[in-house]
């Protein structure tokens, strides 16, 4: 009997099931099953294709007695017990190369929107309110941009900044000697002291839970814009509201949340989110930074190329 692959990702490019079938796999699509549903069916599969919203716990892995690989359509692996999977001989693959450009562009879009008050002005104009001086913007040129995390998306964001006359400081705890003609290796302390913009590009892990918290925000010497496109729980929602209200930061561009959608209100109350999202200097999008027409196929082709090498 041919090996079987289960796709739990809700939205994947058609090329994934098509190419897997061409490779000889029998492919089943069961979008976003509950944990109990996944436990009941995973035993028969050699491959599993997931996105953010399928949790692959050690219990799932123990039940997956035939599983040879887990493919993550995207970058973050926090929903997969990677160490346990690999201890069982299961390959864990991801495709961060596929949507890093999209995230870099989106981060820049959020930043320019905030600095030029585009969303605020758009809302006012739609209501017939014509405020020019009140919506005077700032130029990005001659600013200092701090990038926290210089992986695929951090590098992509830095690349997008090359058209601006900016100084780019980058901090990555896992890298050394990464300065180049455009990016200067830095520390968190230097970024907190000098940055006019701070963009977050770190993965979620236990050590990165609320990485941006009251202590970090209190250490800021300027009042920077913060761009948040990595993982929701990296940023403490309550602390960021306090920073906005005390003007420790000028504005927030946010694409990811501690609850997704925020209306779940399980980790942070919906009242807190409403308080955040009602602010004029907050521009929010629904976890779409890496969600472009182009990234959909790039994520798929990158992941398939890695599966073919197994």
* Cα end-to-end span (Å), the chain: 19
Looking at the DSSP bridge assignments, the partners of residue 252 are 226, 282
11 pLDDT exceeds 90? no
1 pLDDT exceeds 80? no
Q: What is the mean pLDDT of the chain?
A: 96
What percentage of the chain exceeds 90 in pLDDT?
95
CATH hierarchy code of domain 100-284: 3.40.50.720
Cα–Cα distance between 189 and 207 in angstroms, integer? 18
Q: Is 13 exposed, middle or buried (0-12, 13-18, 19+ CB in 10 A)?
A: buried
Higher model confidence: residue 1 or residue 206?
206
* Contact of 40 with 19, CB cutoff 8 Å: no
C-beta neighbour count of 130 within 10 angstroms: 10
pTM confidence score: 0.94
Cα–Cα distance between 75 and 136 in angstroms, integer? 37
Question: What 3-state class would DSSP assign to 273?
Answer: helix
* Contact of 8 with 293, CB cutoff 8 Å: no
> Which two three-digit tokens encode residue 71?
């493919």
Please, which pLDDT band fits residue 52 given cuts at 50, 70 and 90? confident
Could you say which of 28, 29, 214, 287 is catalytic?
Answer: 287
Distance of CA 181 to the CA centre of its chain: 26
Q: Any idea of the CA torsion for 14, 20, 21, 23, to the nearest 10 degrees? A: 140
Would you state the pLDDT for residue 75?
87
Cα–Cα distance between 105 and 100 in angstroms, integer? 9
Could you say which of 32, 59, 193, 260 is catalytic?
Answer: 260
Would you state the pLDDT for residue 220?
98
Q: Where in the chain is the domain with CATH 3.40.50.720?
A: 4-98+293-308, 100-284
The answer to whether 231 is a known catalytic residue is yes
* Contact of 235 with 210, CB cutoff 8 Å: yes
| Pairing assessment for the beta strands 4-7 and 26-29 based on DSSP bridges | parallel
Q: Phi and psi of 164, rounded to 5°?
A: -115, 155
* Contact of 308 with 23, CB cutoff 8 Å: yes
DSSP 154-204: HHHHHHHGGGS--EEEEE-TT--S---SSEEE--HHHHHHH-SEEEE----
Residue closest to 95 by CA, chosen among 176, 185, 184, 15: 15
Cα–Cα distance between 104 and 152 in angstroms, integer? 9
169 pLDDT exceeds 80? yes
Would you state the pLDDT for residue 10?
86
Could you say which of 13, 72, 231, 233 is catalytic?
Answer: 231
Q: Is 153 exposed, middle or buried (0-12, 13-18, 19+ CB in 10 A)?
A: buried
The answer to whether 152 is a known catalytic residue is no
For domain 4-98+293-308, give the CATH superfamily.
Answer: NAD(P)-binding Rossmann-like Domain (3.40.50.720)
141 pLDDT exceeds 90? yes
Q: Is 241 exposed, middle or buried (0-12, 13-18, 19+ CB in 10 A)?
A: middle
Helix axes 237-245, 270-277, angle to 10 degrees: 40
């Amino acid at each position: 009997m041919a090996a079987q692959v289960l796709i739990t990702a809700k939205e994947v490019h058609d090329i994934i099931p098509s190419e897997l079938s061409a490779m000889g796999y029998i492919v089943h699509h069961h979008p976003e099953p509950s944990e109990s549903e996944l436990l009941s069916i995973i035993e028969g599969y050699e491959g599993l294709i997931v996105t953010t919203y399928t949790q692959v716990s050690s219990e799932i892995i123990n039940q997956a007695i035939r599983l040879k690989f887990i493919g993550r359509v995207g970058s973050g692996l926090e929903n997969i017990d990677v160490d346990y999977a690999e201890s069982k001989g299961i390959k864990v693959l991801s495709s961060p190369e596929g949507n890093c450009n999209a995230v870099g562009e989106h981060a820049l879009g959020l930043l320019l929107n905030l600095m030029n008050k585009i969303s605020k002005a758009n809302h006012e104009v739609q209501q017939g309110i014509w405020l020019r001086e009140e919506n005077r913007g700032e130029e990005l040129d001659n600013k200092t941009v701090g990038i926290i995390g210089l992986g695929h998306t951090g590098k992509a964001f830095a690349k997008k900044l090359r058209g601006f006359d900016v100084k780019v400081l980058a901090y990555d705890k896992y890298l050394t000697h990464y300065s180049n003609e455009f990016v200067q290796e830095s520390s968190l302390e230097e970024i907190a002291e000098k940055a006019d913009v701070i963009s977050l590009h770190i993965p979620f892990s236990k050590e990165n839970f609320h990485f941006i918290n009251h202590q970090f925000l209190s250490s800021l010497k300027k009042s920077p814009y913060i761009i948040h496109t990595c993982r929701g729980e990296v940023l403490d929602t309550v602390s960021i509201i306090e920073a906005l209200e005390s003007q420790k930061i000028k504005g927030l561009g946010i694409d990811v949340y501690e609850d997704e959608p925020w209306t779940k209100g399980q980790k942070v109350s919906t009242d807190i989110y409403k308080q955040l999202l009602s602010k004029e200097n907050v521009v929010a999008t629904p976890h779409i930074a890496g969600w472009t027409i182009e990234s959909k196929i790039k994520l798929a082709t990158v992941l398939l190329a890695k599966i073919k090498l197994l």
